[in-house]
Copies of this chain bind each other. A is one copy, B any other.
Amino acid sequence: MKVEDIKNVTVAGGGTQGSQIASQIAYKGFAVTVWVRSEASVERARVRFATIKEQYLSTLEAMKTDASAYCRGLADTPDLSAEQIDALIAQAEERLSSIKFETDWDAAFGNADLVLECINENPQEKTEFYTKLSAHLPERTVILTDSSTMLPSMFAEATGRPDKYMSLHFGNQIWRNNMTELMRHDGTDPEVFELAAQFAEAIGMVPLKLNREQPGYILNSLLIPWFKAATSLVATGVCDAETVDKCWELATGADPGQTPFRKLDKIGLVLARNILSMDPAAKDPASGLAKSVSMLNGYIDEGKTGIAAGEGFYKYESYDK
């Protein structure tokens, strides 16, 4: 299969990730069906999709007058006239409105060229999903998973088509943060790997290729040790969070928002605490890591869970959120 042959894409799951991914794929002109388990899920998903459509339309509108509103996933260049943006708005309105919702397996998957799996991060649920899916899917169909914490080799057999299965991992606000990480398992067909990269580009994403499985992909493999180092310095009393951030900013020329503790506030202290707790080294109470977890718990107990809560390591006014 070539990327030109991909017409019908089915996104399994209409949660936070599924709704963003499905919207972006539709925005770029593919026929998108969203499969969810029940009519109740359809109703919940419709609300999410409506919100995302509003974000697409308002972001495009803002791009007319505000250079900083430009999102790489929405247009290849920031140099667009108001007329060109109006055309994109009309197109987005039409395409995002044409997303179909299905609960029936055959209706959702029977003619899919590509499936993007965005269901819960639960290994048993995923295995059951893939096993059932294989009975409803044409032979040609490629399956990509957005899983952020699991490796494709865990489910390759359950899909019944290990050669046509791999990870295509998205971030958050993908129309703005248009980075995807592609991870193959040993049995993924190299042509499928290439096809997935081309598909990622076709939907406005930058594909970053991982040639073998790596828990945490590239980004979290870099971010987590950096967070651990930063939180250990503060949790062990070496210095305060502002000093760590100032140091990174001065030494690397990073924007003030791109420093360790500003980033932690952005991703949220609960998620950060959960990630840091997973490391076995956190079990030694004398370790910097254990002290980091305990420091984060202190903030969480006080409700200071990050930007979304208005306060984390820093205080935020509403306009920063």
Contacts and interface: CB of A to CB of B under 8 A. Distances in A.
Interface in A212-262: 212, 214, 218-219, 221-226, 228-230, 232-233, 236-239, 243-244, 246-248, 250-255, 257-258, 260
Contact of A237 (B179, B212, B223, B228): B212
Contacts of A254: 252, 254, 258
A210 interface: yes
Contacts of A258: 252-254
Nearest to A239: B210
A221 B225 contact: no
B218 A225 contact: no
A208 interface: yes
B253 A233 contact: no
A113 interface: no
Copies in the complex: 2
A222 to B, nearest CB: 5
Nearest to A72: B250
Given A177-B250, A179-B250, A239-B210, A244 B222 contact: yes
A218 B206 contact: no
A211 interface: yes
A197 B154 CA distance: 54
Contacts of A48: none
A157 to B, nearest CB: 23
B210 A251 contact: no
Contacts of A211: 237-239
A244 B250 CA distance: 22
What are the 8 A-B residue pairs with the smallest beta carbon separation, nearest first? A225-B225, A179-B250, A218-B247, A214-B238, A225-B229, A252-B258, A226-B226, A222-B229
Interface of A: 171, 177-179, 181, 206, 208-212, 214, 218-219, 221-226, 228-230, 232-233, 236-239, 243-244, 246-248, 250-255, 257-258, 260, 263
Given A209-B239, A221-B233, A252-B258, 13 more contacts: A179-B247, A208-B247, A211-B238, A212-B238, A214-B233, A214-B236, A218-B233, A219-B251, A222-B229, A222-B247, A222-B248, A225-B225, A225-B229
